[in-house]
Structure 1
Amino acid sequence: MPILYGLPTAKARRAASAGRVKLAGCVMSAQPDQWCCAAAHQWRAGDEQLLVAAIEAALVGS
């Protein structure tokens, strides 16, 4: 699932509760992780457009 940084909106909190996005807070490294699996492993894929699309899709209907 995509990792969302920053102060979460109500939609983001609902999406996180439903397991569609992982909230990561406001502190980011220079190369932050972008994705997280169910086993809590995190990684960076480098495709910003794919990440943004996944976050937008996760927030739809939240």
Structure 2
Amino acid sequence: MTNYWAHSHQIQPTFLSTTDHLSTIGYHLGYEHQSHFCTAFKCQYGVSPSQFRDQQNKVLASA
């Protein structure tokens, strides 16, 4: 498994600028399995990738 922390700077811009499936985003960041990506993401941000995306979309919609 690729080290998540080496890629963490890429996560937010990716989520804000795409509607790609989580498995596609995780794969592009070096994860072979979506579950590994989701677990690492939740450890870093405290929420799942889909929850993070929903929160970001609400913030952008209210701006």
TM-score range, shorter chain: 0.3 to 0.5
Structure with the higher fraction of residues in helix conformation: 2
Return the TM-score normalized by structure 1: 0.36
Structure with more relative contact order (C-alpha pairs < 8 Å, separation 6 or more): 1
Structure with the higher fraction of residues in strand conformation: 1
Return the TM-score normalized by structure 2: 0.35
